[in-house]
Structure 1
Amino acid sequence: MPDISVTMIVVLCAAAAAAGWIDAVVGGGGLLLLPALMLGLPSNVPLTHALGTNKAVAIVGTTGAAVTFARKAPVDVRTAVRIGLAALLGAMGGALLAGVFSKDTMRPLIMVVLLLVAGFVLLRPSFGASAGGGTVSRRRVAAAVLLAGLGIGFYDGLIGPGTGTFLVLSLTALLHLDLLTASATAKIVNVGTNAGALLVFSWRGDVLWGLAALMAAFNLLGGTAGARMALKKGSGFVRGVLLTVVVALVVKLGLEQWA
């Protein structure tokens, strides 16, 4: 493990706990966790080590949240696992190509998509308020496997910001889920995206396992607490956090774009 002060380790563990909570409720914990690692690690540590360590930490909290949701939320685990396996493959492909595409060229596109998402959620207060009801067609499940699984999984391995948020929105739209059930389903899929990227980063030797293990314990606590709060508060609470995270993502990407 790199030479990091005790104070910085405490800060990183606190960031891991907060990121776990955000991820469990609506996704987007990487907004906090990855920048914290980039700032907290010594300047001589490669960026890829921050990316790999981020995935090693995030997968623990996401798994804890997924288990909590699966026990208490009306999740179609079989469908979620199918999408998650596709997401694992997509994330592996994205991680292998990480660095090929310039993030500077991707940020404006991501910002536009997020602004459209925020506008849609604001103008459609009924979006995700309740489930559509009835059996979801095979065509919609197949679309979710391709778009939410392979597509967003690839994006997570390649770039990453807002993956959980995109998963919640796409699953709500494609499978006619309420936001709480979509968030619960997204956690299972997100385990797949994190696992796929982590496999590649591990193979490359880009994970600081000692630091990751310590931070992961706090991420797990935050993720479990966030999942329980989302289950208690319901879809309205998830919608509020969703909008907050989307706005935070846009601000963060905007600052990076024009810095």
Structure 2
Amino acid sequence: MIDLAPHILAFLFAAAFVAGFIDSIAGGGGLITVPAMLLAGVPPLQTLGTNKLQSLFGSSSATIAYARKGLVNVHAQLPMFVMAVLGGGLGAVLATVVPGEVLKAIMPFLLIAIGLYFGFKPRISDEDRHARFTPLLFGLTAVPLIAFYDGVFGPGTGSFFMLAFVALAGYGVLKATAHTKMLNFGSNVGAFLVFTLNGVILWKAGLIMGLGQFLGAQAGSRLAVRSGAKLIKPLLLVTCFGLAIRLMLDPANPVRIWLGI
């Protein structure tokens, strides 16, 4: 069992608060908490497991905040939530056989593509548009696939859910943000259960970070409700491009390794 010093736990709490704030609006919180835990000396496997524990607090906190504002019908969203739980759990189970290096290599380019989509599509707003997928089709395809990715790797899941809701389900930006959090919570639950069974969670650090996530998500979601697409769209762009750059600059990025740079 790893025993982290108080100042390290304080650092992780602060990182989780910032991650929860950003994640509740635009996604990408995992690219803050995962490096923070690795920097604190937490082994990679324990980092992944503990990250799912603390992420539960942020995604549930944001879901509650959006539901209180009437932006999420929790009961109607339950079938998709269940699919997200299953997808996240399967992703965590199969993480050892899925080519994770390939996911890490293509991740920056997918984030850039999402950023460009939201940046250059002028009609994106808080207004709902025509849906390309029915709720049933969306729940059986996009939801479990993105949740599966969350269980396997994770970073950027919120951005992928956001893109799917806007491009396929026809949701406005604020409504998409609200529903993204509930499905992200579901995929976190599925992966968390698998990691718990494997005994790779640092409970003390995870619960302290969870408090930071909860508070940060409350603050972020309230700001998002007040500002809508005017805030969410630019922050989503900054998050997508920032995470892409962060991943490409990582010395362990497979593309850099393959190119020898």
Q: Determine if the TM-score, normalized by the shorter chain, exceeds 0.5.
A: yes
Name the structure 1 match of 2:88.
91
Match of 2:44 among 40, 47, 59: 47
Shift of 1:144: 1.8
Q: 2:170, 2:76 → 1: CA distance?
A: 13
Q: Does 1:166 align with 2:160?
A: yes
Corresponding residue for residue 209 of structure 1:
203
SS in 2 for 1:98: helix
Q: What displacement does 1:236 show?
A: 1.7
Mapping of 1:168-247 within 5 angstroms? 168-247=162-241
Question: Structure 2 stretches of 5 or more lacking a match?
Answer: none
Please tell me whether residue 251 in structure 1 is matched to residue 248 in structure 2: no
1:74 is the counterpart of 2:71: yes
Partners of 1:37 and 1:79 in 2: how far apart?
Answer: 36
Q: Percent identity?
A: 34
1:94-149, Cα deviation, whole Å (9 max, x unpaired) = 0001132343222332222222222221211222442127xx68x52123213332
Counterpart-to-counterpart distance in 2, 1:144 and 1:71: 24
Please give the alpha-carbon distance, in whole angstroms, between the structure 1 residues aligned to 2:44 and 2:140.
30
- Secondary structure of the 1:97 match is helix
TM-score (norm 1): 0.92
Q: Which moved more, 1:234-243 or 1:102-111?
A: 102-111
Does residue 131 of the first structure (1) align with residue 125 of the second (2)? no
Secondary structure of 2:155's match? coil
Secondary structure at 2:201's aligned position in 1? coil
Map 1:87-126 to 2 at 5 A.
87-126=84-123
Contact residue 100 and residue 152 of structure 2 kept, 8 A? no
- Mean CA deviation greater in 197-206 or 25-34: 25-34
Q: Would the alpha carbon gap of residues 205 and 167 (structure 1) be closer, same or farther in structure 2, given more than 3 Å must change?
A: same
User: Partners in 2 of 1:74 and 1:3 — Cα distance?
Assistant: 41
Give me the TM-score of the superposition, normalised by structure 2.
0.91
Using the alignment, how far apart are the partners of 1:130 and 1:224 within structure 2? 23
- How far did residue 88 of structure 1 move? 0.6
Worse overlay, 76-85 or 222-231: 76-85
Separation in 1 of the partners of 2:61 and 2:104? 30
Tell me, in whole angstroms, the C-alpha distance in 1 between the residues paired with 2:87 and 2:128.
27
Asked if structure 1 preserves the Cα contact closer than 8 Å seen for 2:126 and 2:228, the reply is: no
